[in-house]
């Protein structure tokens, strides 16, 4: 199985933007910036820099499986540079996160911020408002599996405030 | 989120055996053998050695998400040592493979053997007989995502013959 060429990557990335309900989306072909790990060490490349307003900070997306009406999932590898995170959002059909690199944060509305690390798994139930991202000082990569995509995708809400983002800082180590 | 303790790991492994339709299953607590990569380098640990008859050779399973009636998936990291492979089988709801380490083989009934490598993705459609495993000389690890598990799991068929397994040997490099 060959790697996807650039044209197909752009098509797939655009499809994801629709799938996850992003309002504005550009699949900019920017040069990848350096992180704590080189591309060659990563299982999946970082992909394209996300340029829409549903994230804060620098986020990269490699869309591995576009929304699929046979399997009813979509799958992407998402890399958050330190300080970066999603906005608050829900998933109509739920989502599962497999952390593949670094240390990050996850919070469901009304609960405390949780630290998530390489090798750990998080389930985001349908219709539960939550956010995820890197810690202030370390990047984090996870495989995000959107489940039951026949029901629907992401519903984007308000940005995570700095106060919310830093509310668990004392628990990061 | 803490790592699962051994008792829970055994429970989850047992649940997988049911989920994938294994006829006989023992979650033996054997010592892990050495491979080309150390446990500490791997994103997900190798897990438990598979001891049922649905595989040939040495195979390890780390069950990351047990079959889930909310998300309708199950997820496992599976490591095949050189020469190891599944028997022929189908999935009622399909399966997606994310190759995370090494080089392996994948074949659908009536088609040629395909070489699959770290970073690549394979979709196994519902009800299509297929097998997957390592090459004769290199180990392979993939994340296996069982999809539409509300429909059903794996249906196990006959072993892959040596002739079938080696039919693509000239294409491995």
pLDDT at residue A39, rounded to an integer: 56
Sequence-distant (≥ 6) Cβ neighbours of residue B122 within 8 angstroms: A1, B96, B97, B99, B106, B114, B116, B132
Average pLDDT, integer, range B115-122: 97
d(C-alpha A124, C-alpha A93), whole Å: 9
Q: Using a CB-CB distance cutoff of 8 angstroms, which residues of chain A are in contact with residue B126?
A: 70
pLDDT, one tens digit per residue, over B61-78 is 999 999 989 999 999 999
Question: What residues 6-35 of chain B have any CB closer than 8 A to a CB of chain A?
Answer: none
A11-25, B63-77, B137-151 — which is least confidently predicted?
A11-25
Instruction: Mark yes or no for CB contact B72/A72 under 8 Å.
Output: yes
Sequence-distant (≥ 6) Cβ neighbours of residue A40 within 8 angstroms: none
Q: Give the global pTM.
A: 0.79
Identify the band that residue A168 occupies on the pLDDT scale cut at 50, 70 and 90. confident
Which of A14 and B160 is assigned the larger pLDDT?
Answer: B160
B147/A contact by beta carbon, under 8 A: yes
**Position of tokens 């998530």?**
A116
Average pLDDT, integer, range B153-170: 93
Average pLDDT, integer, range B133-159: 97
pLDDT, one tens digit per residue, over A39-66 is 557 899 999 999 999 999 999 999 999 9
Which of A63 and A11 is assigned the larger pLDDT?
Answer: A63
pLDDT at residue B168, rounded to an integer: 81
Identify the band that residue A133 occupies on the pLDDT scale cut at 50, 70 and 90. very high
A101/B contact by beta carbon, under 8 A: yes
């Amino acid at each position: 199985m060959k790697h996807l060429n650039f044209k197909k990557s752009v098509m797939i990335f655009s499809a994801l933007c629709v799938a996850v309900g992003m309002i504005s989306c550009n699949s900019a072909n920017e040069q990848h910036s350096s992180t704590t790990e080189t591309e060659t060490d990563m299982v999946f490349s970082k992909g394209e820099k996300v340029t829409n307003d549903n994230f804060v900070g620098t986020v990269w997306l490699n869309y591995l499986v576009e929304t699929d009406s046979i399997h009813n999932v979509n799958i992407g590898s998402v890399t958050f540079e330190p300080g970066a995170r999603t906005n608050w959002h829900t998933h109509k059909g739920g989502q599962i996160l497999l952390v593949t690199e670094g240390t990050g944060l996850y919070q469901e509305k009304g609960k405390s911020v949780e630290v998530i690390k390489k090798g750990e798994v998080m389930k985001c139930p349908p219709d539960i408002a939550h956010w995820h991202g890197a810690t202030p000082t370390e990047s984090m990569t996870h495989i995000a599996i959107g489940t039951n995509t026949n029901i629907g995708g992401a519903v984007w809400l308000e940005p995570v405030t700095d106060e919310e983002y830093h509310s668990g800082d004392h628990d990061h180590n």
